[in-house]
Amino acid sequence: MQLAAHTGRLGRRVMGWVLGLAALAACAGALAQDLDPAALAPLASDETDAKLGAIDRLGRLPDPRAAEVLQALGDGQLLATPDGRILVERADGQTVDPLSGQPVAKPGDADNVMINNRLRRAIGAALATSQLYSKQAGERLAAAQRLQQTSDASRLPLVAEAIRRETDPQVRAALEIAQARLQLAADDPALRRAAAEALGATENPAFRSMLAALVQQNADGGYAEPDEGVRSAAQAALRRIDRHMATVEWAGNVFYGISLGSVLLLAALGLAITFGLMGIINMAHGELLMIGAYATYMVQTLFRQWLPPGWLDWYVVAALPVAFVVTGLVGMALERTVIRWLYGRPLETLLATWGISLMLMQTVRTLFGAQNVEVSNPSWMSGGVTVLGGLVLTYNRIAIIVFALLVVFFVWLLLNHTRLGLFVRAITQNRRMADCVGVPTGRIDMLAFGLGSGIAGLAGVALSQLGNVGPDLGRGYIVDSFMVVVLGGVGQLAGTVIAALGLGGVNKFLEPYAGAVMAKITILILIVLFIQKRPQGLFAPRGRSVE
Amino acid sequence: MTAAANADLLHLARRPLFSPRAWLALALCTAALALLPALNLAVPPDHPLHVSSYIVALAGKFMCYALAALALDLVWGYAGILSLGHGLFFALGGYAHGMYLMRAIGRDGVYQSDLPDFMVFLNWKEYPWYWAFTEHFGYAMLLVALVPGVLAFVFGYFAFRSRIKGVYFSIITQALTYAAMLLFFRNDTGFGGNNGFTDFKRILGFDVTAPGTRAALYWITLAFLGGSLVVARLVTQSKLGRVLTAVRDAESRLRFLGYEPLGFKLFVWTLSAVMCGIAGALYVPQVGIINPGEMSTENSIEMVIWVATGGRGTLIGPIVGAGVVNGLKTWFTSVAPEFWLYALGLIFVLVTLFLPQGIVGLVRRLAARLQERKGSARIEEQKA
């Protein structure tokens, strides 16, 4: 914002120099039918109508100086002397003559030209066209895009003139669209037809209603558009726009599906280790997510209090190891004190861990209060990138997708390429045999559970960037996480990934038709039905160890 | 020892339902419970024997919980099926009865319409089809049993047929309950959204809040609880009950012996759901409200802990457990609400770690130890 204002000011200054040079070089009359004192004089009058006329004329002048005058008028920076001279007061306090661009002393009797709302509207419209002649391609483009929104047919010659003068292909294209939009009301059917085709080629939904109005059938059976050819062209254009909209919507669903899927994946990944590999029904998994999110909050608070403000943007990165270690330690403590006594009794584990989850929740409530705490996105995560002309991919969602993939890679690496992973897999396959060949099962159990919990903590960091952080944060994810692991097949990392992304995608594609809640219900029912067919999940382990 | 056990098995069919001592204890407990509303109604408030209406209402509520816990014990304690979805059956029974109670309000609601207030509020013009005939008490009572029963039957058929068991079954029942809760929270399903049903006025023409009606509801609940205990005992003492225990302990082996567990499991599962629905139906008029919160995951798991605390597979244990846990809950929420979740969490952990057989198991163990000591004392006496 500040940057934009700054460049704007700079642009104006550059324009001033250019103007000065032009005024020096050109003889009077070289810029014939351009800005002259006669065009400016009415601005000094008290009559609103006279001013309106002058503004309108200024707007049609293909002269960059006219834009400056209009801009100054709109900003209340235009001065008028009682003898009818018009001066521009620049932002730096300098007073210049708009005709010559030369600085002049500010006359003592100069007054700011007053404007009212009617004038302000007229200035806006005039500027839109006037800036078409700006020296800056960016300003010209913006003006052309503003022009695309108007339906004032009297602008047509102006646009045509601007197209004739325009050299920048991008601005030219934008101008042609604006022209097409105005020509939609032209008298010549061939022009209207070409206009409809041009608008269709933009694939811009903003023109949809306009085109749809053409092919609308009136009550008496006639059409708003009398010409058959134009109608069919409009139909084709409509189809094209609709197709593009459908593509954008589809791409949006894919993106949000992947985004939701990556959230589910993060939430379920820790569970894939504790439940999938170790067979522990950890109902406190959601609370481990919550602890990870609160660890993020703590790190953020510490950064705010002790470190220079510039560092605050990176608190999320610092929160990752903190959350991992904190939740990992909580997990290991749980494993050593409670869960280790319950191996082989899954239903009892379920109850005990549920009890633990209640205690963890209440502890957090006591420490931090029952209200949600405020965790803010770092600046590099806010905002987003626009693709396909209308689909906004927010940076925080992109960051979480990337993060989820990194965590999966990390887990895969740990399980398949480290000694700890080897031991964990050995215990999964045959606990007693692993014990016999010297795997320290007790310690590995503790470490593996700590790992699963730590990953839940990492997921908690990600979740804190997406939604509210409160003591109930984990409850919303527990059913979903179990669904992902059960659907993916117990003990299968790949299954978990595919199940999470699949569930996320299906959910987002169902939502437009069924609404968020019904989509969720439908998915739960689909999972229940799916498990009928494949009780072991998508990727069933085969062999005698299954039972 | 083995000979005795064999003889026990052979005489299975002729075993008495309860031992005479147990019958006596049951009769005494029932009488004591039945006396509560009488002490509330007949004894003047300043008399030391007077029981406050609050206690009666509380006891009535606890008996509904006890009935639900009993139902859960049938499937978990005997067939080894841990349901995390009994809150759903409980709530469905409650909603079925609630539909009748809502219609019994008549035009006495805030908007004085034939429709319940929430429907007027949401601009409904008439009752949706599934509300048909619910103005008849008998039909509503039929729904109380049928809705949870049919749902349990269909769900159970598919689940048991594909041999989903253990934790998978638990997780799926939890998901089912969760889905149902989301559904009932919606305003457009015709069940009052998150406010549910409340503001009941009368039941079968009697004022719901009148002390007499409340006492009657209490006695009916007590009768259902006692009756259900006998039914559950009948089921578990029969040969069918023996098969169920076998399902719990070694389902694969049972299958190899030529039994198809599907029917047995389905029967006890559906019976349990119906019982739970009845518990919900008895609960609603006494508490005066039913909303989707009853279907939350937390509630269903809490039911499980009632059973575990009292002692699973004992039938009487869940009744005791429901009373103990809910008594503690009432005490904590009035004295130190912020500590209740710690206490409940601790109950979960301690019971699973140290009291796998619950309170009843503990009592039995203590009694056995006492007898042993008595026996050894007698031997030493003889020696002396």
Say whether pLDDT at A155 is over 60. Answer: yes
- Flag the least confident range among A34-38, A172-176, A372-376, A519-523: A34-38
* Two structure tokens written together for A462: 């990600």
- Tell me which residue of A82, A69, A83 sits closest to A12, measured CA to CA: A69
Residue of B164, B191, B341, B350 best to disrupt the A interface, most CBs of A under 10 A:
B341
The CB-side HSE value for B303 (13 A sphere, CA atoms) comes to: 35
pLDDT band of A132, cuts 50, 70, 90: confident
- Tell me which residue of B108, B94, B56 sits closest to B214, measured CA to CA: B56
Tell me the shortest Cα–Cα distance from B66 to chain A, in angstroms: 19
Pairing of strands A391-394, A111-112: unpaired
Q: Residue A151 — φ and ψ, nearest 5°? A: -125, 20
Is there a contact between B185 and A524 if contact means CB atoms under 8 Å apart?
Answer: no
pLDDT given for residue B1 in this prediction: 42
DSSP codes of every residue in A94-151: -EE-TTT--B-PPPTT-EEPP--HHHHHHHHHHHHHHGGG-S-HHHHHHHHHHHTT--
Q: What is the 3-state secondary structure (H, E, C) of B189-234?
A: HCCCHHHCEECCCEECCEECCCHHHHHHHHHHHHHHHHHHHHHHHH
pLDDT band of B63, cuts 50, 70, 90: very high
- Flag the least confident range among A14-23, B5-14, B102-111, B271-280: A14-23
Is there a contact between A520 and B182 if contact means CB atoms under 8 Å apart?
Answer: yes
Say whether pLDDT at A492 is over 80. Answer: no
The CB-side HSE value for A430 (13 A sphere, CA atoms) comes to: 9
* Mean pLDDT value across residues B278-293: 94
SS3 A86: strand
Distance CA B182, CA B177 (A): 9
Q: Tens digits of per-residue pLDDT, B118-146? A: 888 888 888 888 888 888 999 999 999 99
B356 vs A contacts (CB less than 8 Å):
348
- Residue A286 identity (one-letter amino acid): G
Q: To which H or E segment does residue B122 belong?
A: none
* Mean pLDDT value across residues A221-228: 70
Tell me the shortest Cα–Cα distance from A498 to chain B, in angstroms: 20
- Flag the least confident range among A141-145, A351-355, A424-428: A141-145
Q: Which residue has the higher pLDDT, A20 or A382?
A: A382
Distance CA A4, CA A8 (A): 6
- Tell me which residue of A258, A266, A278 sits closest to A477, measured CA to CA: A266
What's chain A's average pLDDT?
80
Tell me the shortest Cα–Cα distance from B364 to chain A, in angstroms: 21
* Mean pLDDT value across residues B253-273: 93
Distance CA B279, CA B229 (A): 13
pLDDT given for residue B329 in this prediction: 94
* Two structure tokens written together for B170: 């638990």
Question: Looking at chain A, how many residues does it have?
Answer: 547
Is the CB of residue B158 less than 8 Å away from at least one CB of chain A? yes
Is there a contact between B164 and A521 if contact means CB atoms under 8 Å apart?
Answer: no
pLDDT given for residue A456 in this prediction: 93
Cβ burial, residue A431 (10 Å; 0-12/13-18/19+)? middle
The CB-side HSE value for B133 (13 A sphere, CA atoms) comes to: 6
Distance CA B302, CA B325 (A): 9
Is there a contact between A479 and B168 if contact means CB atoms under 8 Å apart?
Answer: no
Say whether pLDDT at A23 is over 50. Answer: no
- Tell me which residue of A270, A261, A279 sits closest to A541, measured CA to CA: A279
Is there a contact between A351 and B305 if contact means CB atoms under 8 Å apart?
Answer: yes
- Flag the least confident range among A167-181, A308-322, A411-425: A167-181
- Chain B 346-375, residues with CB within 8 Å of chain A CB atoms: 346-349, 351-353, 356
Q: From the CB of residue A15, how many other CB atoms can be counted at a distance below 10 Å? A: 19
* Mean pLDDT value across residues B306-324: 93
Q: Tens digits of per-residue pLDDT, A65-109? A: 777 778 788 777 788 877 777 888 777 777 888 777 777 777 777
- Flag the least confident range among A88-92, A249-253, B226-230, B254-258: A88-92
Is there a contact between B82 and A350 if contact means CB atoms under 8 Å apart?
Answer: yes
With a pLDDT cut of 90, the percent of chain B lying above it is 57
Residue of B172, B177, B181, B188 best to disrupt the A interface, most CBs of A under 10 A:
B172
Q: Tens digits of per-residue pLDDT, B322-381? A: 999 999 999 999 998 889 999 999 999 999 999 888 999 999 999 999 998 888 888 777
Distance CA A542, CA B5 (A): 40
pLDDT given for residue B307 in this prediction: 95
Q: Which residue has the higher pLDDT, A500 or A164?
A: A500
- Any idea what DSSP says for residue A168? -
Say whether pLDDT at A251 is over 90. Answer: no
pLDDT band of B303, cuts 50, 70, 90: very high
Say whether pLDDT at A404 is over 90. Answer: yes
Distance CA A271, CA A275 (A): 5
Which chain A residue has the Cα nearest residue B186? A517
Which chain A residue has the Cα nearest residue B80? A347
ipTM over 0.85: yes
pLDDT given for residue B14 in this prediction: 58
CA distances from A106 to A42, A87, A458 (A): 20, 8, 64
In which residue are the tokens 């310690």 written? A443
- Residue B359 identity (one-letter amino acid): I
- Chain A 249-288, residues with CB within 8 Å of chain B CB atoms: 281, 283
- Residue B271 identity (one-letter amino acid): L
* Mean pLDDT value across residues B21-47: 88
Across the interface, of B171, B174, B349, the residue whose CB is closest to A355 is B349
Own/partner contacts of B26-32, CB < 8 Å, gap of 24 or more, are B26/B226, B26/B229, B30/B222, B30/B226
- Are B313 and B327 within 8 A, CB to CB? no
- Flag the least confident range among A11-25, A363-377, A386-400: A11-25
Q: Residue A86 — φ and ψ, nearest 5°? A: -115, 130
Q: From the CB of residue A330, how many other CB atoms can be counted at a distance below 10 Å? A: 22
pLDDT given for residue B245 in this prediction: 92
Distance CA B338, CA A232 (A): 71
pLDDT given for residue B8 in this prediction: 55
Is the CB of residue B235 less than 8 Å away from at least one CB of chain A? no
A483 vs B contacts (CB less than 8 Å):
171, 175
Which chain A residue has the Cα nearest residue B162? A532
pLDDT given for residue A9 in this prediction: 52
- Are A477 and A520 within 8 A, CB to CB? no
DSSP tally for chain A: helices H, then strands E: 21, 6
pLDDT given for residue B49 in this prediction: 85
Say whether pLDDT at B38 is over 70. Answer: yes
* Two structure tokens written together for B252: 């694969």
B183 vs A contacts (CB less than 8 Å):
517, 521
Q: CB under 8 Å to B288, separation ≥6 — which residues? A: B198, B199, B200, B208, B209
A517 vs B contacts (CB less than 8 Å):
182-183, 185-186
